[in-house]
Structure 1
Amino acid sequence: MKYFAVFLPMKDEEKSKQYRQEHLDYLQEKSEEGTVFAKGRFTDGTGGLVIFLASSFADVEELVNKDPYIVHGARGYKIHEWEMKK
């Protein structure tokens, strides 16, 4: 499995508030499935970051496109494969 950092920049603050719980529920479901390594918001209010575990970029993009924030246009996204160093 590979790590992928997904930046979720704010597009619409009102929609972000409206769909926040659905987004969090979605990420919790993915955490329980083992596909979310870490997640959190940026303290300056500009968006958030999710680190997914997946086999490919395409798999992560499929997960991201099902996130309620993306579905409803609250956030944009940018995916980068991430190499974690210990």
Structure 2
Amino acid sequence: MPKAFICHSCDERVEFSPEKRPCEALSGWLTVSHWKGLGAVEQYNFCSFTCLKRWADAQVPKIPEVFLKAFERKRDKKRKAMRGKYNLEGGIAP
């Protein structure tokens, strides 16, 4: 019965017979080992660096947009305050 590896990002599948070594069938593929704890290791296979990057990016926690926008509003308020402080010639307003 053939053995198969599946890309964890795009679901591409590569099958090979038991007589063939995995290193031959998976030439060009990438394997990531994720240590989960004592003796617990998960392995993920990827058919390309693009798929690996897509998977890795999905593992990173996302910062909520509302949080990022709060910084933009604060920065905009500071800029407006600074513009009012200086006149057009670059000096301090009277």
Normalised to the residue count of structure 2, the TM-score between the two structures is 0.27
Normalised to the residue count of structure 1, the TM-score between the two structures is 0.29
Rg (Cα) greater in structure: 2
**Higher RCO, 1 or 2 (CA under 8 Å, sep at least 6)?**
1
